[in-house]
Structure formats: structure tokens, C-alpha cells
Amino acid sequence: MKTNRSDYFIAFGVLACSLVLLAALTMAFSGWSPKAATRTVEIDFLDVTGIREHSQVRYSGAPAGTVAKVRLLTDPERSATNWSAVRVTVRLFDSTPELPDDVRASLSSDTLLGDKFVALSSGSPDRPKLPNGAVLLGASGGSIDSLIEAVGPLAQSLPQLLQSVEKTLRNFDVVVGKTGSTVDTFQDGIADALPRISKLADSLKETSEAATQALSKIDKLVTDVDPAIKEDLRKLSKALDELGGTLDSADKLMANTDKQINARMAELSVVLQNLKVASTHAKALTKSLGEKPNRILFSGKPVPLPSEQEILRSAKPVPVR
């Protein structure tokens, strides 16, 4: 069989592409980079889920190095580092600027389901610079699991919050009952005083012919009635003071309850919005994997996802195209 020269060119092209692909995969999994990286920084984290050796390090969003080592801290080391559990050693490129002492280290990702990387803030340019091998205290990033775990305690606290509101309403009913009792006492005092005043008027009519006797009877009647009226007024003043104190207590209780309800509802609103965005993007991921599972190994045209603003504005589930 005669072999064409084009067959050799095709075979040579396939072999060259295979070697290039093999070299690219080796560089990706080994973390090798053509940039020189001689400086190191150690960062302590409580949790490094998603971080492994050769993970990317970014400085203000730009590539700045790779993760060289991940190790667990001993108990004495944890006590001396604010209970951090893992120490990550990162190797910085020589082109990365020197880090100031107020630099912040955290774990982040480009998307909710993307690969994690170590993020370094730029800090202040006029601050002292960190030496090579310095140890920093990092902040662990959030995840879907932590978001779901945060919803649990909030849902469990809702029955207690409702019981607190119900107790507040019962206390308000008691306050209203005390107010009604005070008004009844005031009415009884007036009803008791009115017959005495009527009796006084009748005595004035009967004694109009004898001025001296009428005046003496009036003086005696006033003397008898005055202590009773003073006692009624004292009771009324005391009842009004109790009513004022009770109303103040009710106002403070209602104000505290209203603040707690508003704070809980605000937290619940933020959690539900995050879950709405996360579930929509998760739906897009499962649909893409179900239709074309080979995207796990081979990249392809990215599937456009709805933005967070579009998802939050929609009152219905957002379809993923």
C-alpha cells in the first residue's frame, strides 16, 4: 500500500499536540510557573477547605504565587495562634511587591462553585514591610455548607421569637387591665363624693332661716367630708403614678421586641436572597453536566448564567438557557 506524505504530517501533528497537552497538564498539576518565586509567607487559617498544594495566590486579584505547603498545627501552636488549625506556606513571585504589615489574607473564589485561592490585599503603601517567611493570621472564606448551617439556627430561633411576642402581648393585656381597674377606682371615688355634696346642699337649704346654726353645721360637715376627699385624691394620684410606670415599661418592652424582629427579618431576607442565587446557579451546573458531562475534562463555550440582579428581581424561578 502506498503511503502519502500527508499521512506523515497528520501523524506528526497529532504527536506534537499530545506532547503539548501533556506538558500543559504537568505544569497545571505540579504548580510550575515560569516566573521566579523565592519569597515565602506563612498564613494560619481555621479552615482551608478547597485549598491544596499548588493552589493559586493572588495579590489584589492578580496572580502573585502558589501554595507550596499545607500542614496541620499542633496543640501548642494552636494556642499561640488564636486557635488556628492549619498553616499554609505560599511562595510569592519575585515580581510581587513587598507586603506591608497590614496586609489581609483570606480564602476566596471567582464564582460560588469555582476553585478556591489565597487572596492577599494590597494594604497601605507607607506601612513597614513584612520580612521573608513572616506568619500572618488569615480569614477563612464562606461556602454553601456554611450558608446552609447559618439558616438552621435562624429557623430554630423563630419559635422562641414568636413566644416572646406572644408573652409581650399578654403583658400588654395585663397593663390594659390595670388601667381599667384604676379608672373604676376613680369612678367609685366620685360616686361616693357626689351624695355628700348633695347632702351638703340640702343642709344649706334647710338652715337658710337660721344663719348661725347653718354655718356651724356647714363647718362640721366640711370637717367630716374633707378627710374623705383627700383620701380619694391620694388614691387617685397613686393610681395615676402606677399607670405611668406601667405604660413606660410597656413602651420599652415593645421597642426592644420590634428591634429584635426587624434584625431577624433582615438576616432572614439576606439568607434567602443568597440561597435563591446559589440554587439558580446550581441548577445551571447540574443541567450543564447532565447534558454535556465531558465539560469536566474539556473546556467549551461557557454557558451564560443569569446575573444576581436578574435572579433577585424575578418573582418566579429564572430559566437557565
Question: How many distinct structural domains can be found in the chain?
Answer: 2
Stronger pLDDT, 311 or 2, i.e. the higher one:
311
Q: pLDDT at residue 270 above 70?
A: yes
**Would you state the cell numbers that stand for residue 166, as one nine-digit string?**
406572644
Phi, psi angles (nearest 5°) of residue 212: -65, -45
Domain stops at, among 109, 142, 175: 142
Mean pLDDT of the chain: 76
In a domain, 128, yes or no: yes
* Residue 274 shares a structural domain with residue 255: yes
Q: pLDDT at residue 57 above 80?
A: yes
Lowest pLDDT segment from 138-142, 178-182, 258-262, 298-302: 178-182
In a domain, 296, yes or no: no
Cα 228 vs. chain centroid, distance in angstroms? 61
Q: pLDDT at residue 176 above 50?
A: no
Strands ordered across the beta sheet of 86-92: 105-109, 116-120, 56-59, 62-72, 86-92, 39-45, 135-137
Specify which residues 82 forms β-bridges with: none
Span 266-270, mean pLDDT? 82
* N residues, the chain: 321
Domain that holds residue 155: 146-279
Stronger pLDDT, 223 or 67, i.e. the higher one:
67
∠ CA 219-188-174, nearest 5°, is 145
Q: How much is the pLDDT for 276? A: 76
Output the pTM of the full model. 0.40
State whether residue 306 is helix, strand or coil: coil
Span 40-61, mean pLDDT? 92
Q: pLDDT at residue 38 above 80?
A: yes
Summarize pLDDT for 194-235 with one digit per residue, the tens: 566 566 556 656 655 655 665 566 566 556 656 667 777 788
DSSP one-letter string for 1-35: -PPPHHHHHHHHHHHHHHHHHHHHHHHHHHT--SS
Contact criterion met (CB below 8 Å) for 66 and 31: yes
* Residue 273 shares a structural domain with residue 153: yes
* Residue 150 shares a structural domain with residue 274: yes
Q: pLDDT at residue 174 above 60?
A: no
**Would you state the cell numbers that stand for residue 305, as one nine-digit string?**
448564567
Q: pLDDT at residue 30 above 80?
A: no
Summarize pLDDT for 68-118 with one digit per residue, the tens: 999 999 998 888 877 889 999 999 999 999 999 999 999 999 887 888 999
In a domain, 40, yes or no: yes
* Residue 114 shares a structural domain with residue 154: no
What is the three-state SS of 287-304? HHHHHCHHHHCCCCCCCC
In a domain, 65, yes or no: yes
* Residue 90 shares a structural domain with residue 150: no
* Residue 157 shares a structural domain with residue 180: yes
How far apart CA 87 and CA 73 sit, in angstroms, is 6
Phi, psi angles (nearest 5°) of residue 295: -65, -15
Stronger pLDDT, 153 or 134, i.e. the higher one:
134
Q: Which pLDDT band holds residue 141 (cuts at 50, 70, 90)?
A: low
* Residue 168 shares a structural domain with residue 210: yes
How far apart CA 87 and CA 70 sit, in angstroms, is 6
* Residue 165 shares a structural domain with residue 271: yes
Query: How many other β-carbons are positioned within 10 Å of the β-carbon of residue 130?
Result: 18
| pLDDT winner (highest mean) among 12-21, 24-33, 161-170, 182-191 | 12-21
* Residue 273 shares a structural domain with residue 158: yes
Q: pLDDT at residue 18 above 90?
A: no
* Residue 71 shares a structural domain with residue 54: yes
Span 26-41, mean pLDDT? 66
* Residue 164 shares a structural domain with residue 260: yes
In a domain, 30, yes or no: no
How far apart CA 216 and CA 278 sit, in angstroms, is 93
Span 264-275, mean pLDDT? 82
In a domain, 251, yes or no: yes
**Would you state the cell numbers that stand for residue 320, as one nine-digit string?**
437557565
In a domain, 111, yes or no: yes
* Residue 212 shares a structural domain with residue 271: yes
Q: How much is the pLDDT for 216? A: 65
Element (H, E) at 86: strand 86-92
**Would you state the cell numbers that stand for residue 307, as one nine-digit string?**
446575573
SS3 content of the chain, % helix, strand, coil (to 5): 60, 15, 30
Domain stops at, among 242, 264, 279: 279
Stronger pLDDT, 284 or 70, i.e. the higher one:
70
CATH number, residue 269 = 1.10.287
